[in-house]
Amino acid sequence: MWKKLRNPVLLFSLALVSAASWLHAADSAPHAVQVTVRSILAGSKSDEFDPKLKNLEQQLKPLKHRSYRALKDETQTIPWQGSKAFDIPGGRSLTIATQEFQNDRIGLKIRLTQGDKPLIDTTVKIANKGNIILGGPAHEGGSLILSISASTQ
């Protein structure tokens, strides 16, 4: 039995399973979360698609606007259990707080305000390295769309 266990292939398999178990061990809280907010203007007056938004093209398609233009990108690192504010075009502000991390999903508390007035408060769980789309506020004749993506550090 012990001679068979010395079989290098069996040892490799056991090492692989051990490594996988270790890697898939219960999630521990990350040190920080890097959040990127992309502000996008969606309109209906022309048919243009900003090349800078190429990687969001498939996600924006369901919204069925005629044009999409990148307005601003902002990236900040939010410490765990901390929060940061992002400047959003149109006098708006987006505050994001990190809440939890489980099963490779990041819990975020998001508040969008216009001046002092809250527009929306929401708590979401997004996939690590994934994103969520928040849109609707009127802006420059069209609609403001925010792509909020997060990844652990």
Partner 1 sequence: MSQCETIQESIGRWLDGELQTADSEAVRRHVEGCPDCAAARQRLEKIHATLSGLLTAQASELEFAPFWREVRRRIDEKRSWHEQLIEWAQSLVTSPRLAWAVPAAIMLVLGFFSLAKWPVGGQVSNYASVESIDTHGRNVALLRDDKTKTTIIWLYQDPEGENENVEEATKSGPAF
Q: Which residue has the tokens 């907010």?
A: 37
Question: For 47, phi and psi rounded to 5 degrees?
Answer: -105, 75
The site map against partner 1 for 83-112 (x = CB under 8 A) is: ---------------------xx-x----x
Q: Which of 29, 77, 87, 129 binds partner 1 (CB under 8 A)?
A: 129
Told to check if 26 binds partner 1 by CB under 8 A, we report no
Q: Which of 95, 132, 152, 153 binds partner 1 (CB under 8 A)?
A: 132
Provide the token pair at 49: 């698609």
Instruction: Tell me whether residue 20 or residue 85 sits nearer to partner 1 (CB atom).
Output: 20
3-state class percentages of the chain: helix first, strand second, coil last, to nearest 5: 20, 55, 25
Provide the token pair at 57: 């093209």
β pairing state of 92-102 and 83-88: antiparallel
Q: Are 121 and 111 in contact (CB under 8 A)?
A: yes
Q: Which of 35, 40, 42, 94 binds partner 1 (CB under 8 A)?
A: 42
Site residues (vs partner 1, CB under 8 A): 4, 7, 9-10, 12-13, 16-17, 20, 42-44, 55, 58-59, 61-65, 104-105, 107, 112, 114, 117-138, 141-143, 149
